[in-house]
Amino acid sequence: MPATNPLPESVLISESHLQNRIHELGAQIATDYENQELVLLGVLRGSVIFFADLARAIFSAQLENPVKEVRLRFEFVQLMSYQDSTKPSAVELIRGGTDYLEQRHILIVEDIVDTGHTLKFLHEHLWTLKPKTIKVCTLLDKPSQRQVPVAIDYTGFEIPDTFVVGYGLDYAQQYRNLPYIAVLKLI
């Protein structure tokens, strides 16, 4: 029998706050990439729900202002972080991130930036594929935990140093389907 998972303690960001902010991010991105083709590059698995809502928010912004046409393409990468005695945090590409990205505008869509190691690795890998530009959109940012500097272009919410789940983020692969962000009490 698997051990019982801890319960989410409290709602940190409600469903309506998430949706309002994602609507704002979609409008900003639609303005910034007006009349261009953009590859939304989701980082599996944590970003999938944010990714889907953000992509539709970009379309909604176009409906409100048809001049802001953005031709969106979807791509995904999957990364794995592991502990290595020689490095503070090692990251490996498991799938995605192909030559197809050459000469494209890429917007990385992340669930959360914590130490920054994952994003730094991905950024360096993507540059080897010769894209035109790379920007970063993260739903959550925990700046107090940063170990390596990373540039973030669009941030949903800055959060304190606490472990959160929901809206794509997991603990032991659970809680991804909560429609809000909750603090998890680890016991």
> Which residues lie near ligand IMP (CB under 6 A)?
46, 81, 111-119, 163-165, 169
Taking the least distance from each CB to ligand IMP, the nearer of 105 and 142 is: 142
φ, ψ for residue 129 (rounded to 5)? -95, 5
Nearest to 178 by CA among 4, 19, 49: 49
Largest distance between two CA atoms of the chain: 56
Nearest to 70 by CA among 84, 86, 54: 54
Give the DSSP per-residue string, 101-137: GTT-EEEEEEEEESSSHHHHHHHHHHHTT--SEEEEE
Least distance to ligand IMP, CB of residue 123, Å: 12
Taking the least distance from each CB to ligand IMP, the nearer of 62 and 118 is: 118
Q: Which residue has the tokens 């800055």?
A: 158
Taking the least distance from each CB to ligand IMP, the nearer of 13 and 70 is: 13
The one catalytic residue among 53, 114, 153, 170: 114
Least distance to ligand IMP, CB of residue 106, Å: 17
**Residue 32 bears catalytic tag:** no
φ, ψ for residue 11 (rounded to 5)? -80, 125
Least distance to ligand IMP, CB of residue 135, Å: 17
Least distance to ligand IMP, CB of residue 113, Å: 5
Taking the least distance from each CB to ligand IMP, the nearer of 57 and 112 is: 112
Residues carrying an active site annotation: 114
